[in-house]
Structure formats: C-alpha cells, structure tokens
Structure 1
Amino acid sequence: MMRVKKKNLDGASLITPDTVAKEIFARRTETFDEQFAVAKAEVALILELAQQQFDNRVSAREIIHRIAGALHLLRDKLHSSVWAELIPLVQNHPVSHRFLEDPFTRWSFEKPRGYSGDAQLLDFIYGHDSVAELVKKATPLGAALYDYTKDASSSVAVRERRDLLTRFVDEAAARHGDETEILTIASGHLREADASVALKEGRIKRWVALDQDPLSVGSVARDFNGSCIEAIDGSVRDIVLRTQELGTFDLIYAAGLYDYLNDRVAIKLTRRCMEMLKPGGMFLFANFSEDIVVDGYMETFMNWALLLRSKADMWRIVNASADPASIEAEVFFGENHNIVYATMRKKV
C-alpha cells in the first residue's frame, strides 16, 4: 500500500552537505590563517602523490587506501574550520576526476536525488541489482576503485546494519506475536525486509515504511505490493509536529538518519518515537561513530558529510529523551566499531 501526500522533497528536512556542515565545522580561530597555510601545503602533497601514482599505473586499491588514510589523519589533527576549507580544494583538484570514475563515489558526489545518503547510494554498498548496470558501465579504473569502496570498513558496517535490522524485526515479531506493528523512519528501499523470515511467514500485522523521497516510497510500494508493508511519504518534521497520525508500534527504528540530525532535533524525534511505542516496545537508532577511518575521503571526494557520534553522545540523546526509570536502554558498537547503536525499550 502506498500513501503519498507530497510530490516534492520536504525542503525543511532536506539533507545536504551544507546543512550538515553547519553542525560539524566550528568557527575559525585566531590561528586559522597560519594553520590553513600549512594544511593547504600538506593536502597538496597528498593529492599530487595520488596523481603521480595514477600516472605510473600503481594499483587503484593501493592509491585509494593510501589517500583515504592520509586524509583521515589530516582531518583528525586539524581544527574543523581548517579542514572545512580544504574540502573544496580537494574536490577541485584534477585527481578528483580519477576517483569519480568509481560509480559509488560519483553517485555520492553528484547526488542525483538532490541529497546525501539516498537509498540508491546504499544499494551500491549492498551490491544490489538496481545498480548493476551503473557498475557494469564503469571504466576499468572505476571498477577497481569500486571494489575497494564497496568493501571499505564503513560499507561493511552498513551491510551489517541491514542484517541487524532484519534480526531486530524478526525478534520483535517473535516477542509480540502476529499483532506486531513496526515503523521504519527514513526507510529508503527497506532492503532489510528482503531477508525477514517474519515478513515472509506473515507474522507481522503492519509495517510502516516512512521516507521523504517519493522515489524511495515508490520503490517500497512496488517491491512489497500485497504485503503488510505500507509505504508512506513523510519526514522527521511530520513526525515531530504530529502532522501524521501513524498509530503505535512494537518496534520503531531510524538506522540511517541520526547522522544528519543535531542533538536538539535528535532528542525531539526520540521523545516522539518513545511516545509512539507500545508498552514493551523498542526504539532503535544508529549513527556512524567517531571510529570511522574513511571520513576524510567521504567528506571530500564523495561530498558526504556526517555527524559522527561516540557512545557518550548516544547516551546523551537517550538520557535526554526518556526517564531512565521508564526504559531499558543499551548502547553498543557494531563489529568493526564504525556504527554505534542505541536501543530503548519501554517498560511494561
């Protein structure tokens, strides 16, 4: 079932590099000019070495591994205001065109859907059939780079996240029975549903997949037509302002959204989700962690900025969103520590 109430993306909720940059890059300090001059020279050397390696036919894997590591280390040691000014320098360097031959990197940089982290981008990570033609059309260099980026630590973590979500869905159905109701916020293409045993066996009463991208809503409506899954066009703003009455749920999760929300909005959304939980129900949210090592590559060549969070950051959101005595909460890392998760179960 599909319910669409808007034809265009919700501009108020639209996720772009500029909106995220306002949250993660600090104002310049008094020593900015001095730091920037040194950093500019450093990044120029990093980029020129990559250019020389491409010209000398060094393996694509070696080149991208080295530059991703170098950009991470540079980002890590610089004040964020200095790093922010380096990003356009990297993006405008001639070597960037080499990295954009990778269809995954290119899709992220060009943002055909108009915003960061769209569902089609994740399909490159999943190796889904929907991107097979784009991968097939890649140059030999692009294909070699994609072999690296699709298996980078962040990509491995995203695939694990999909599988964890499938597990949580099936566990919710086992716990709550055939009346189980689920809400997915920023559902994308809902790939975690593909492997759900509970869905296949008809043990879920209602599964609402909410997204603000009409293309994603349409994809879910098409792929799961005739199932209990209801694809709905809606945004974070719709949920927080209660413009849609979605009902109550046994499981609510937002796995790829909090990376773009500041604490203020994240807490508002979490509070509202806790209100929509039935007694005994669970809310889960996930976030890329500060342990990620490809952040420099993502923010430059992929034009994909994220709000990274630590365990303490996740706990701060949890503790500000509910009375600790009313919930059972847990914060934990995925296997390679690139993604951190928080779960909040409402006590009966």
Structure 2
Amino acid sequence: MDQLQAILSHAHAQFTADPSTEVIDRLAQELGTTFDHAAMTGELEAFQALCRAHPLSDLLMLDPYSRRAVDKPRGYAGDAVMLDYIYRPSRSSLDGLASIVHSATTSLPNAKSILWRRDYIATMIYNCMRKKECPEVMSVASGHMRELDALRDMTADTNVTITALDQDPESIREAKQTYHEFNILARPKSVTSLLRKTGGSERFDLIYSAGLFDYLSNALATSLIKAMYAQLKPGGFLSVGNFTCDSHGRGFMAGFMDWRLIYRNEEQMRALADAACPKASQRIFRDQPGNVVYLELFAE
C-alpha cells in the first residue's frame, strides 16, 4: 500500500497547491493499477480504507456526486438521481473547490461512457420506431430514462410503447412525468420478476438494460439474459452493457466513492451469452470512450 499512499499524497499536494480538474483525472487514472493489484491480492478493504482515511477524501466529498455514492440514500451507489449529475449537469449552486471536484468527477471518461450509453440507447429506440409503426420496448432497471432526452433531439415522433421495469417507483414516476408524451407503462418490480415469468404472451421488439449488469453475479446475469431473450419478438434484439475490467475510474470509484462494480471484458460477456442463449446470433463491442462492453443478441 506504499505506492497507493504516495499517489494519494502527491495528488493531495498538487490539488491543494493548484486545484484543477486535471489533478483529479490523473488521480483516477493512476488509481486503476493499484486497485487492480488490491483486487488480485485480496486487499480491497485496505485499499478503500486508506483512500477514505486520507485528507484528500475530505476534499473530494465536497462533490455532491461523490458524496451521494458514499451516502447511498436509496441503498446503492449509482442511483438515478446520482446519474442525473452527469445526464443533466447543473453546477450553479457550487463554487470553489466543490465546483472543481464536481466538474472533474462528472466529466471523467467513465462519465463520458454513461453519456455515450444514453445516445446509443436512444438510437436503438429510434431505429425501432423507423422500422415499425409502434414498436414495443422494455427498459430493465429503467431509472429516469434519460435516453429519452436524446430521443427527443432525434425525432418529434412518439410512436413507441416503453415498459419501464424498476424496483424504485420514484424513478419510474420521474420518467413518466418528464416524458409524458411517450406511452410509458410502469412496472415497479424487481428485475428478478422476469425470472418468475412463465408462459406470458408479452413480447418486445427491443429489450435493453443500461447499468444493471455491473451489479449481477454470473449466475444471475446468465439467467436474466435468458429470460429477457425469451421475451423478444421474432426479429427483436436485446442489449446489455457492462463496465470493463480496465475502465478508467474503477479505482477512484471503489476507493473514494464506495462504488464497486462487477467488471467484465468481451470474453466474459461472450461467456454469459453462450451460457444463456448458445444458438442466438450475437454482437459484442466496446463503446467509443472504451469503458463499457456491450452484448447484443438477435432473435430470429
């Protein structure tokens, strides 16, 4: 942990002398290697304890985005309200060091991947709308559905029905109120409800899950992929994303934000797909910022 201590102390001295977003960005990049070593050697608890006890942590917690991750008012980091700091930035209420840290954390490459994800999902929905008169879409762990912000920019059409499945009814309520012109069907349930569905007639042209798989074990992820794929219409497709093992902010998130994900690379996503739907046509690719791997499965 000597290397970690040196990285933290150097960043603290730099930020104290000359506060800038560049210091935070370099810190996030440097923490990746020490995080990987801690994970490999079973020292993640010590890694996080050292980060959280360092004076640098007090400065970083001036940022409401990072603070919400630590506080977990809805029981987990990365909730829909927290992600809105990235999707819908508003820094007018912040000044000084808080503004600098917040600007840095919400513009790191990982945050850019979240914005890329919004636009990617919006494009998928838009393409469905172009192909069918009124496609049926399901968002699993839907959150606030900020992809509809991007969809609004693409088209004024609203010829789509979207089933929003999320365990948080507040998130679904926010989506329905904000995007009232869309036909959003509320399903305030856990994602495990999909596993209990037997013999239902409901089918979809597109099913997607943006950030859920970062929290799922291999067994649950496999079962959920199989269950979602079974609900596709002929010609429909499924898309799920997962932050990668070498994603930019993984050490910063775990060390300071108490935000731990289950990371997967392309081969690991392929293994999930092969276990869940061995005969399905698949596509696996990485997003443009390079931090998220996507799995798409296509129904015949």
TM-score by length of 1: 0.80
Would the aligned equivalents of 1:103 and 1:138 in 2 still touch at CA under 8 Å? no
Q: CA deviation at 1:75?
A: 1.7
Q: Give distance in 2, aligned partners of 1:181 and 1:62.
A: 43
Tell me which residue corresponds to 2:173.
218
Q: CA deviation at 1:49?
A: 2.5
Among 262, 267, 275, the alignment partner of 1:307 is 262
Q: Give distance in 1, aligned partners of 2:182 and 2:83.
A: 23
Instruction: Write the letter of the residue equivalent to 1:342.
Output: L
TM-score by length of 2: 0.92
Q: Does 1:52 align with 2:5?
A: no
Q: CA deviation at 1:153?
A: 0.7
Q: Give distance in 1, aligned partners of 2:299 and 2:261.
A: 29
Instruction: Write the letter of the residue equivalent to 2:34.
Output: L
Aligned residue for 1:179, secondary structure, equals: coil
Tell me which residue corresponds to 2:112.
156
Tell me which residue corresponds to 2:143.
188
Would the aligned equivalents of 2:22 and 2:104 in 1 still touch at CA under 8 Å? no
Q: CA deviation at 1:297?
A: 0.4
Aligned residue for 1:95, secondary structure, equals: helix
Note the alpha carbon deviations across 1:84-114, whole angstroms, 9 max, x for none. Answer: 3221221122220101112221122222222
Aligned sequence identity (%):
30
Note the alpha carbon deviations across 1:194-249, whole angstroms, 9 max, x for none. Answer: 23258741322x21011111220211121233531112201121111229968110
Give the root-mean-square deviation of aligned CA atoms. Answer: 2.0
Aligned residue for 2:43, secondary structure, equals: helix
Q: CA deviation at 1:330?
A: 0.3
Would the aligned equivalents of 1:193 and 1:199 in 2 still touch at CA under 8 Å? no
Q: Does 1:231 align with 2:181?
A: no
Q: CA deviation at 1:187?
A: 0.6
Tell me which residue corresponds to 2:203.
248
Tell me which residue corresponds to 1:66.
26
Q: Does 1:331 align with 2:284?
A: yes
Would the aligned equivalents of 1:220 and 1:231 in 2 still touch at CA under 8 Å? no
Q: Kindly report which structure 2 residues correspond to 1:74-223, keeping only aligned pairs within 5 A, or say none.
A: 74-78=34-38, 79-128=40-89, 132=90, 135-175=91-131, 177-196=132-151, 200-204=156-160, 206-223=161-178
Note the alpha carbon deviations across 1:97-148, whole angstroms, 9 max, x for none. Answer: 10111222112222222212101111111234xxx3xx33324111111222
Q: Give distance in 1, aligned partners of 2:7 and 2:181.
A: 53
Q: CA deviation at 1:328?
A: 2.1
Aligned residue for 2:133, secondary structure, equals: helix
Would the aligned equivalents of 2:35 and 2:47 in 1 still touch at CA under 8 Å? no
Tell me which residue corresponds to 1:294.
249
Aligned residue for 1:225, secondary structure, equals: coil
Q: Give distance in 1, aligned partners of 2:243 and 2:74.
A: 22
Tell me which residue corresponds to 1:7.
none
Alignment length (residue pairs):
298
Would the aligned equivalents of 2:166 and 2:188 in 1 still touch at CA under 8 Å? yes
Instruction: Write the letter of the residue equivalent to 2:105.
Output: T
Q: Give distance in 1, aligned partners of 2:4 and 2:258.
A: 17
Q: Give distance in 2, aligned partners of 1:260 and 1:235.
A: 13
Seen in structure 2, the aligned counterparts of structure 1 residues 334 and 226 have a Cα distance that, compared at 3 Å, is closer
Q: Which sections of structure 2, spanning at least 5 residues, go unmatched?
A: none
Aligned residue for 2:137, secondary structure, equals: strand
Instruction: Write the letter of the residue equivalent to 1:308.
Output: Y
Instruction: Write the letter of the residue equivalent to 1:98.
Output: L
Would the aligned equivalents of 1:238 and 1:244 in 2 still touch at CA under 8 Å? no
Aligned residue for 1:151, secondary structure, equals: coil
Name the larger-Rg structure.
1
Q: CA deviation at 1:59?
A: 2.6
Instruction: Write the letter of the residue equivalent to 1:330.
Output: R
Q: Give distance in 1, aligned partners of 2:28 and 2:141.
A: 28
